[in-house]
Amino acid sequence: MSPSAPERLTAGRVVKHLLVMLAASVVLGVVVSGLALPFAGMAGISARNVSESVKELPAELETQALPQRSRILDANDNVIATIFDENRVNVPLTQVSPFMRQAIVSIEDYRFYEHGALDLQGTLRALIVNQANSGVVQGGSSITQQMVKLTLVQQAGDDEQARAEATEETFSRKIQELRYAIAIENTYSKDWILERYLNLAYFGNGAYGIQSAARTYFGTSAADLTLPQAALLAGLVQNPVGLDPTVNPDRALQRRNVVIDRMAQLNVVTDEDQQAARSTDLGLNVRAPSNGCVSSVAPFYCDYVLRYLLADPSLGESEDARRSLLYEGGLTIRTPLIQTYQASADEAVADAVDPTDNAIGGLAMVEPGTGYVRGLAQSRPMGTNMEAGQTYLNYTVPERLGDSNGFQAGSTFKTFVLAAALEQGIPVSWGISSPEQIAVRESTFRDCDGEPYGGSTAWEPSNSTDSGYMTMTTGTRLSVNTFYAQLTQRTGLCQPFELARAMGVELDNPTGEEQPGRLAERVPSFVLGVADVSPVEMAEAYATFAGRGVHCDALPVVQISDSGGNVVKTYDPTCDQVLTPEVADAVNEILSGVLAPGGFAAAQSLGIDDAGKTGTTQNARSVWFAGYTPNLATVAMIAGANEVGTPISLEGQRVGGRRFGNVSASRFVAPIWGDAMRGIRDELPGDDFTPYSASALREAVGPPDPQGSVGLGGRATTRISGDDD
């Protein structure tokens, strides 16, 4: 069959010579109007524009590091989440199946290893077809040119104009590509170019690069791709959307077979291999890429990690820079999360509080001596379906790293006053008459400057447990409000407040113009837990008691490595001795009684050394249990909250299938702590608390301050009974 007129015309000697002249002139860097004029005329552009545009280009293309996905790992190096802007895992060419290398070269640029930046035969073939059809029908770009184009698109990012310029189908853009390609070919080896191309290419379904494509479509690695698998992926590069095998399997199969046939035609594979590969089905094992925290086994822990790192100035000058590093840097982020701890926490919270309840359940686990956060759970799962109780608000972490102001922690704050009193030399045996209700003037409380707090306003705390003569031990175990009001008169407001801050409770909110310089929570009722806090803060604080007075900042990250496995940063525990060890021993002895027979939370005892404190707010908006062993501090919370998290009373609410009446921490939230801790009981070392010694305590802290003798009262006796406050 003789060629048609257009074919005879465009294949003529004149066009061939012009193409050769164009290629030569560009390669030599002397594109001038005279040489480029005939070609530019065919393309509908001026020779001057072509010449000027080429002159303005840099001689070399900067090949920046490719964005890669980052991984978040647990304490045992199991992946708990992947995060990325582009789902890419770079691999060296040596870790790409030979079938894949052969397939992509066969179908895209079979003379890749033979020609330079420009495949003149391929360009000529494309020009003939395109001119015959009055448009761009067939591409003639080499793999190097394609790599240049992909690099320009990738580096354009979200700049729509830059992306448009990098993809426009014009001869001017082709010339620009070619100049960059020449520089690339002069700088890098063919294998380097092919490797970058395979890592750059988009294969559809969110898979950038050959490793992600192999995982996404076949659940395998790039190194293990078979001939039919490699042929399918090589075929997708041409049109990853139109040839998507999950949407258009017939078209994808046809394209795959075209690649296989081309490989056989080039004698890359045998006829026998060709027939065997063609006879197989697509063999897909599609695995949708998981991006972000929603699908993580620990979604709000994952969220905590990301917010913690985004707030770390050492990872970048701005939050945007830090985000780019996290989502594009191919990092490996190791955390101290233990999945068995996380699973036990999740189960305990889910069993007690339903996602759609007018309440939020939360729990945090912090390791004494390191601050490692071992688990984090909340009752409302991560997601956008509010009708199903889902949310993206993290209620378990400090306000600066989450989405909630926190919730009042009730009588769990009494331990800060207890510890401050012991530090001041007030003995464990000290006691005072603690009636059912008292009225105390605010002026009887000392502030940080030693001056009286407030004026003549009376504060009238009352008990919901028991009354009578109380010591440090009985007043704490029975959580007697009037006892602690009087103990706070003796300690002053400053030391308990500062001790709580030193132990990890974030109490830095100013009160406003009425009391400039004074902090909102440093008030007489501080002892009753009027400050809003999170489970992580309280677990961090109570871990200080377990650690014999050593406070360690809560730590959700252990180490960050880059894509090459090099350590970028290590997050070592940050610890300080903020409490005398003997004081912590005394606190542990007193709080052990809460879990001992007759204590409010005796039913939750683990059968090993453990201690804890209940907390219920006076308006019943939240209930807490802060408990610990020598090796783990766990704090559980249930807070009344509507669908958007606004605090409401728990009284009368149905939570976890139970009606909340006569709200108390021992009945409603302590069981969450017990269930979570029993689930990991066998994994805990089972160490013992250091025994409390009254003489050692006296020697360590000295005699009490004689200036702090407000309201010692008389001795009385009372029956020890009642429920939590």
Amino acid at residue number 154: Q
List the beta strands (DSSP E) in 43-103.
Answer: 70-73, 79-83, 87-88
Ordered by start, the domain boundaries in the chain are 5-56, 89-278, 410-530+693-725
C-alpha–C-alpha distance, residues 230 and 212, integer Å: 13
Q: Are 530 and 409 in contact (CB under 8 A)?
A: no
- Structural contact between residues 364 and 402, judged by C-beta atoms closer than 8 angstroms: no
Q: What share of the chain is helix, strand, coil (3-state, %, to 5)?
A: 45, 15, 45
Q: At what angle do helices 494-502 and 414-423 cross, to 10 degrees?
A: 110
Q: Is the pLDDT of residue 358 over 50?
A: yes
Between 504 and 10, the more confident residue is 504
Using a pLDDT cut of 70, give the percent of the chain over it: 84
Q: List the CATH code of the domain at 89-278.
A: 1.10.3810.10
Residue 2: pLDDT over 80: no
Q: pTM value?
A: 0.84
Q: Which amino acid is at 608?
A: I
- Which is it for the CA torsion 420, 423, 424, 425, positive or negative? positive
Comparing CA positions, the residue from 304, 420, 307 lying closest to residue 362 is 304
Q: Give CA–CA dist 115/393, Å, rounded.
A: 57
Question: What's the pLDDT tens digit per position in 81-118?
Answer: 999 999 999 999 999 999 999 999 999 999 999 998 87
- SS3 for 291? coil
Query: Percent of the chain having pLDDT more than 90?
Result: 69
Nearest-10 crossing angle of helices 120-132, 13-27: 130
What's the pLDDT band for 35 if we cut at 50, 70, 90? very low
307-332 confidence digits (pLDDT tens) = 999 999 999 999 999 999 999 999 99
DSSP class of 467? -
Q: Is the pLDDT of residue 5 over 80?
A: no
What single-letter amino acid sits at 313? P
Distance in angstroms (rounded) separating the CA atoms of residues 222 and 698: 68
Average pLDDT for residues 635-652, to the nearest whole number? 92
Beta bridge partners of 332: 71, 561
Rounded CA-CA distance 680/646 in Å is: 33
Dmax (CA) of the chain: 121
Residues 6+ apart with CB under 8 A from 267: none
